[in-house]
Each structure stands twice: as structure tokens, then as C-alpha cells.
Amino acid sequence: MTETVDKPAAGASDQATLGFQTEVKQLLQLMIHSLYSHREIFLRELISNASDANDKLRFAALNDPQLLESEPDLNIRVELDPEQKTISVVDDGIGMTRDEVVAQLGTIARSGTGEFLSQLTGEQQKDSQLIGQFGVGFYSAFMVADRVDVMTRRAGAAPEEGVHWSSDGQGEFTVATETVEPRGTRVRLHLKSDAEEFADQYRLRALINKYSDHIAFPVLMAQADGEGEPEAVNQGQALWTRPRTDISDEEYVEFYRHVAHDFAEPLTWSHNKVEGKREYTSLLYLPATAPFDLWDRHAARGVKLYVQRVFIMDDAEQFLPLYLRFVRGVVDSNDLSLNVSREILQQDANVMAIRSALTKRVLDMLTKLAKDDAEKYGKFWGAFGNVLKEGLAEDQGNQEKIAGLLRFNSTHSEGQEQDRSLDDYIAGLAEGRDDILYLIGETPQAVRSSPHLEVLGEQGEEVLLLSDRIDAWALQFLPEYKGKKLRDVARGELRVGDQPAAGDTSIEGAEPDKDTKQLLKRIKRALREDVDEVRVSARLKDSPACLVLGEDDLGPGLREMLEASGQTVPESKPTLEINQGHPLIGRLAAREGDQFDELARLLLEQATLADGRQLGDPGAFVRRLNKLLLDLDAPDE
């Protein structure tokens, strides 16, 4: 960012003109030209920012009461000048220094700006939902203003250290040191000619009631008749402190938008007050859409923490486990010190007890949502299902409850709107059956067409189909569910219940004859570097061969994941199973020498591809396949 110093304006010094960050320029164009139908949210965003500034001052004043100066009562003021066509949003909060103004108003405050911009589509409804979520709420002012002025002074600084920031949103802004008497920040909007509808007191009051009634500080405006002192337009009481019966669904939704910076509505919420040995209030929300940084395990997460209604921190991750990092909301405790820090939270017994209770509450919310509204739960699962699976490993105490919330594609769910749960699977089991069959593959299409399902499909057995990268890792922590063993049908000997499966062979249930045993030995000798064993398959009906893992072997997906993370992975070879009734196996048995070795190798490579694995030498496979195609018309030797 380049800074040029201009001649100071009257009453100001060190005036400089600077350019916005490139991403901000793009964002401003979106704000100015694309989101006209959602322009009214500018007031919500500016009041929300003012509320945050007041919260931060109140917290800082716990250690330094002098920061409150002579004005301990904090509020937010919305001032309208109909003649000048200006709206000002004023707070008594923490304020900003010159460096903070340049850093916070010249760039997108949160990390991930590239990801933010990649999600912009030009569609008004979708793009408007991103406002606030990425720390860009301030820039929504340019939807209604052709110039924005910010006058601010950091609490504790001298009036002469105030700052005046100004921009028309066209790519540059000016910043100057200026005397600012009141502590806090004033944001003044000079309305565009097509936004003068907002230069109306009744319109602004309606917007405050609609979007900001839950703000815990009084939002003041001049009285409707212009007489007397300004009056509070909102209730000015922290929403979570009010009785649930007094709060409408619309108020809960608007408070969620304030807490989560999410324009969409939440799927559901839970408001609960606990009294007795420990006293705290929680208001927890389940979002409908995933944030851009969901898979960044180091990103800021957690609920807003208040102690005795005093704001303490934004992202108190100690109150929920990592696999519930998508939950948004507020926790207000009476049992913690006002001077609590992140380090103290990690060691506090009260926090651990609250964490356990909130975790159970969130899982109960999900269980109720799944039972009462399958469509909404389907949306949740699509957005956060893979994150929830992490809980199988991270939360052994709640593992069965988490497992009951999992949803799977299945050989019995094709064409159905909803995926299957483990309870659905168990309900369909024949009496005496004690296993839940599943299969893991690279993609939904690949796993559904796997040769491992051929005999099972013919027998009408249900198999859960897993294709997410996390599945192989997560399922190893869930050996059984409600007394039913989870069995991977691509491992070991295929069994259904207590019995081996019967495949499409000419000697069903019997030992291979002498010729078949000899063929197995020949294939094993040709492929000795790549397979552990070669045997007749009970899985196959239409395919000539498939690969089978040992009971304790790592699957290809998990092996790849561990290797990518730099971990040493133990060596293992798969078993090759052949369908002795398949014509290709008969053709193989008739070959000798190099022809036999080449066709056996091609059989292994074909099984490798069908299993969703990568070939070690794709070029050699193509050459073998081409040779086979050229020899199709050649007479058998």
C-alpha cells in the first residue's frame, strides 16, 4: 500500500491518500453495483460493529477503568440530517488509532480474502449472504452512500490523536490526524440520490426494530416529534437474558445473524438457562451453510463468552469440542471471573463441566432435528456431516450418539431422497444377524459399481456405501454400533452373518479342484511382487477379479492420507480373488509363458482400477491392453 502525504486540511494534520487493497476494490464494486435489493442491511452491519466496539471497551475497562473517562454509560446513537441527507452511527466504544484505521478500513479484516472473492457470483441473494461473514460489514455502507466519513479516537488517547478517514469508494481513501473530542467512533454516510428513502426517521426506526432490537446497548434516536432527549428504539437488553416466552422466532433469527455474521436463517437453536451448582445461560445455533474456513482446524471458532453479561471474548473454543466447531451462539456464565483469560479457561473445572453439558445439548439438538425434520437435517448433513464424523475419534463418551446421527448412501437407498442411518440399517436386518456391511470407495459412482457388491446385490444384502475422504479414518474408531459389528466387505473372507458368502463359481461351497489350485499357483507366481495371495472369490458374479484387503491392512484412501502427511506407512499387499467361472479366467488358464504373465498382470491392473486405486505404471497398462485388442482375432494357440 503506497502512502502520499497531502497538504493538511483545516484542523487536521498528516493527511494522506492511500489505495484500498485490491480485494477491497473488487468488493466495493460488488457493493455499489450488485446488491441494491439488500441495501437496508447496511444499518444492521454498522450498528453491529458499534456494539462490538462498546463490548471491547467494557472488557478493556475491567483492567483499566480510566478508559471509560467520564462517560461510563455506553450506547449507540443513530443521527439523521434530512436536509444534508446524512446518516451517522455513533458509538462510545474502544475507538481506533491511525494505524488501526488504515489496517481495518483499507483491507478486508479477516484472512481468506481470496476464498471470499471466489465465492462471489454476481447473484444478489447469494452474494449478500457473505456480507459480515468475512469481516466486510463496514463496506456495506457504500451501497447507500457516495461518501463515507469516519471520525474516531481510541479510548485513553488524547483528543488531538483522533483520526478522520474518508472515501468515495472508488479505489482510494484519505486519512488525517484530527482533534476528536468524544471517545469512540462516528460513521457518517452521505446518501446517494437513489438512497434518499433512508433519510426518513420512521424508516430508520423500522430497520432498527427489524434487525437490531436484540443489541444489548440502547440504540438512541431523536424523538419522532424532534422534541426532548433522544430515546431508545430497541429493547437494549441482551436477548439471551430474556425469558424464552418473550422472544419471537424473528428475534432469535436476527440475533443469530448478529452473532454469526450470516445473512441466512439458522436451521434451529436452543436457549437454555441452568441454575443450581453452576449457573449459566446458553443460546446455541445450528447454521444452514458451512463457512469458508470450516476445514481449517486452526481458524477462529467457538461461541461468544460473556461473564455476568460482560463481553469477554469472541471465539471461546473451550466450550465445545473441535468436531462441533460449526456451532454459533453465546454462553453467559455467573461462575467465572471477569478477568478470565484463554489460559485460565483451559484449566477451569467449571468450563469443563459447561463444555460437557453444551456438547450433550448440541447432540440432542441434532437428534431432535433428525427426528422432527428430515429435510432440514439433510441440509445440515450435507454441510457439516464430514465434520461430525471427526467426533467418532475425538469423543468416545458420546460415540454412540454421534454414530446415530451419521447418514449413509446405501445399496437400498438409490432413488430415495434421504440417506440411511445405522438405526435404519439395523431395523432391516434379518433376525439373528449381527453385522452391518459397508464398502469404502473413491467416489459415489465408483463404490456403487464395485465388483465387491455383485453377489451381495444378488442376494439382496444391504451395504452402506462410503466415499468421503474421512470415512476410512473415521470408521476405524467405530467397530460396532448397538451390539452390531461393522464389517468392511472389501476385507478378508466375505461373510454374511456367521456364514461365508456363496459366489458364482462352479464349485460353490467346495474346495477348488486340482486344476484350479494349479491356476492359482501360476497367477501367484506371475504376480508374486504385488499380491499376498490368490484365491477363488465368493464375491464375484460378473467381474473376473477383485482386490481384497487383509483385516488389519490400511485402505488405499487412508494410506494416501497418511503418506501425504509425512507419516511412515507399513507395507502390505492385497489378495487377488478370481471368479473361476468367468470366460477371461478360462482364457488365462489356456495361456503359457509370457502371454500368461501379461494377461495375469492385466487382470491385476483391471482389478486395481475397479477398486479405485492408481496404477503404478499406467503406460505399461495401456501397452498391454493395446496388445490384447490387437490379438483378439488371432486364433488360440
pLDDT digits (tens, 9 = 90+) for 178-219: 999 999 999 999 999 999 999 999 999 999 988 888 888 999
Q: Is the pLDDT of residue 470 over 70?
A: yes
Q: Is the pLDDT of residue 121 over 60?
A: no
Averaged pLDDT, 149-176: 93
* More confident position, 305 or 311: 305
Residue 151 bridge partners (DSSP): 164, 186
pLDDT digits (tens, 9 = 90+) for 313-340: 888 899 999 999 999 999 999 888 776 7
pLDDT at 108: 55
Q: Is the pLDDT of residue 500 over 60?
A: no
Asked if residue 263 lies in contact with residue 131, where contact means CB atoms within 8 angstroms, the answer is yes
Q: Is the pLDDT of residue 114 over 50?
A: no
> 204: helix, coil or strand?
helix
pLDDT at 29: 72
- C-beta atoms surrounding 454 within 10 Å: 20
pLDDT at 416: 60
Longest dimension (CA), the chain: 108
pLDDT at 244: 93
Asked if residue 42 lies in contact with residue 83, where contact means CB atoms within 8 angstroms, the answer is no
pLDDT > 70 fraction of the chain, expressed in percent and rounded: 85
Task: Give the Cα separation of 546 and 538 in Å (integer).
Answer: 11
pLDDT at 507: 36
pLDDT digits (tens, 9 = 90+) for 66-100: 999 878 889 999 999 999 999 999 999 999 999 99
Q: Is the pLDDT of residue 375 over 50?
A: yes
DSSP letter for 320, please. S
Averaged pLDDT, 537-566: 80
Q: Is the pLDDT of residue 124 over 50?
A: no
Asked if residue 580 lies in contact with residue 493, where contact means CB atoms within 8 angstroms, the answer is no
pLDDT at 122: 52
Instruction: Name the band, by pLDDT with cuts 50, 70 and 90, for residue 446.
Output: confident
Task: Give the Cα separation of 216 and 231 in Å (integer).
Answer: 15
Q: Is the pLDDT of residue 220 over 60?
A: yes
DSSP letter for 97, please. -
The DSSP result for 480-543, as a single string, is: EETTEEEEETTBSS-EETTEE---S-TTTTS---HHHHHHHHHHHHHTTTT-SEEEE-SS-SS-
> 627: helix, coil or strand?
helix
pLDDT at 636: 54
pLDDT digits (tens, 9 = 90+) for 45-58: 899 889 989 988 98
Asked whether the CA dihedral 597, 602, 605, 611 is positive or negative, the reply is negative
Averaged pLDDT, 380-406: 96
pLDDT digits (tens, 9 = 90+) for 355-373: 999 999 999 999 999 999 9
Listed range (217-221, 557-561, 572-576, 607-611) with the worst mean pLDDT: 557-561
DSSP letter for 309, please. T
Q: Is the pLDDT of residue 292 over 90?
A: no
Average pLDDT, the chain: 84
pLDDT at 116: 45
pLDDT > 90 fraction of the chain, expressed in percent and rounded: 47
pLDDT at 30: 65
pLDDT at 111: 36
Q: Is the pLDDT of residue 165 over 80?
A: yes
pLDDT at 126: 46
Q: Where are the beta strands (DSSP E) in 68-142?
A: 76-81, 86-91
Instruction: Name the band, by pLDDT with cuts 50, 70 and 90, for residue 514.
Output: confident
Instruction: Name the band, by pLDDT with cuts 50, 70 and 90, for residue 508.
Output: very low
pLDDT at 415: 58
Instruction: Name the band, by pLDDT with cuts 50, 70 and 90, for residue 12.
Output: low
